[in-house]
Structure 1
Amino acid sequence: MLKNIQNKKIILASQSPRRRELLAGLDLEFEVMPLHAEEIYDPEELKREQITEFLCEVKAQAFQQWEDDILLITADTIVWMEERAVEKPKSRGEAIEMLELLSGKNHEVISSAAIYSPSKKIIVTDVAKVRFGDLSTEEITYYVDKYQPYDKAGGYGVQEWIGYVGVEEIVGSYYTIMGFPVYRFFKALKNF
């Protein structure tokens, strides 16, 4: 299907099982190579998609094994609400607070994916809107205790129990909310 990249070695620089699943769903052969990069940015300087695109770049800069036949893929996702990024929770208490914040309200999920070769790069970004219904304290603590969503922006995974019982409405791509803007990524890959 993608003749333009058939002789390329694709490397996904992500620890996310969801990104692996979504990339595999495109029938691509790839290796997973998580990179260790400090995901630090200035929240006064960067907003919304500037954050996810910047963090894609930070992850790519940590890659050291460039060869002509390599395509490196990096990605990042944030939850954006009330003019700030809602990060990954660092503790049970933070995860509960995040879900209490999201309960009964709208927020945006912003996901970026980047494709790099030694001589070229493309970054694509997509935004989806999510509305949670009112979540009870019991529902929130059940989800956090059972699913431990500490690796997820906003403290939740839409594909998990909380998405089934709590997400009232989505405007945009479900896959963007899962953490990878699949449609935009595939179009970019076809033109890379």
Structure 2
Amino acid sequence: MTAAIPDPARQPDLRVSHAERDAVVEQLREAAAEGRLEIGELETRLEQALTAKTYGDLVPLTADLPPVATPNDGKPLVLKGGVHGATRNGRWQVPARITAHGGVGGVKLDFTRTQCGLREVEIEAHGEMAGVTIVIPDDWAADTGGLEPGLGGLKDKTTDDRRPGTPLIRLSGNGGPAGVVIRHPNKWERRKLKRNPPQ
């Protein structure tokens, strides 16, 4: 399930969901990384997005930005940490291939709220200066043999408790100076998942 970008045609007084707030936050961060928003504008809009209650609050925050392209199974998703970092979380569509460059801001891929029907997901991770963090559900597993640890190393904190029908993450790339981490949710993330379970 893809994180929902708010539809401008919706009635402005309708309440927005966590996924829709998350989608706008990610769109704003990507726009800043591309130079479309200055730091001050980004901070102001992020605060407004995180506290938005209705479509009337949320939709204007991205009205002057180009729409986010939706990844598909045939086209790899490329994330670049840049200066401000990049994140995929919430309910987002998972493609079969992902390339993540940590840059100086870092990249985080959080799969704990996704619904992924793929048997395998290939992630090419390059830790670079700030690193790449990958969070997978407890019943997913990872094959990290294709990743060169580099100076920063690889921290694989996953278990082999893969449930049939769930994806296998195949990790390749290079840890670089900051390294790559792949793990299951930590205590704080588990509390958030318990309060707001994936649908």
TM above 0.5, yes or no, is: no
Please state which structure has a larger fraction of its residues in helix: 1
Greater relative CO (CA pairs within 8 A, separation 6+): 1
Using the size of structure 1 for normalisation, the TM-score is 0.25
Q: TM-score, normalised by structure 2?
A: 0.24
